[in-house]
Structure formats: C-alpha cells, structure tokens
Amino acid sequence: MQQAILLAAQADEEIRHVNGVSTSQIGPHVVIAALSAEFEDHLTTPQIEACIERVEAAVRSRHPEVLSIFIKPQTEATWGERVAEIRRLGAG
C-alpha cells in the first residue's frame, strides 16, 4: 500500500518530489497515511488542494480502505533533516 501511495503521488505532474510515506492500520479495514511531498513552486493553494485531491482519489481507487491521507508540503532537504533528527533521537 505504501508503494501505491508513493506511485500515485509521483505520477502527478505538480509534485516535484515525493519524500516518503507512513501508514497506520487503525481498524480491520481502515488505514490512514502520512505523505511528505514537495510541490512545484509556482502552485497556488487551490492548485495544491486539487493535486492532493487527485492523489487521494488515485490511492482510494486501488485501496478504498485508506480513510485519510495527510500530505505535508516539505522540501526534500527538510525531509532529510527531519529523518536524521528522528534517527538521532531514537539512537540516544
């Protein structure tokens, strides 16, 4: 399922880079997902909203059990810094 979410986001022309995804099974047939993605710089808020709706629709067409996808706009560099910070905290 994570791969399907990543592929759906990568397929959208208005997403510059997909950083990563995390999913959580919260019920027998209910999943929520968190996705980090970098959007193209020229996009307005309504265009980003439309992009998110496209990604959600693409995912739900293959995985209707996905209740919500929380998408965080984030550059690849910021994503990398956050992942490194989490790893440091987990190791200490």
The pLDDT of residue 27: 93
**Tens-place pLDDT, residues 6-62:** 999 999 999 999 999 999 999 999 999 999 999 999 999 999 999 999 999 999 999
Question: Which residues have CB under 8 Å from 72's CB, separation 6+?
Answer: 34, 35, 36, 37
The pLDDT of residue 90: 82
The pLDDT of residue 30: 96
User: Is residue 85 over pLDDT 60?
Assistant: yes
Q: Which band of pLDDT confidence, cut at 50, 70 and 90, is reported for residue 86?
A: confident
* CA pair distance 58, 70, nearest whole angstrom: 14
The pLDDT of residue 92: 57
* CA pair distance 66, 55, nearest whole angstrom: 12
Entry pTM: 0.84
The pLDDT of residue 72: 94
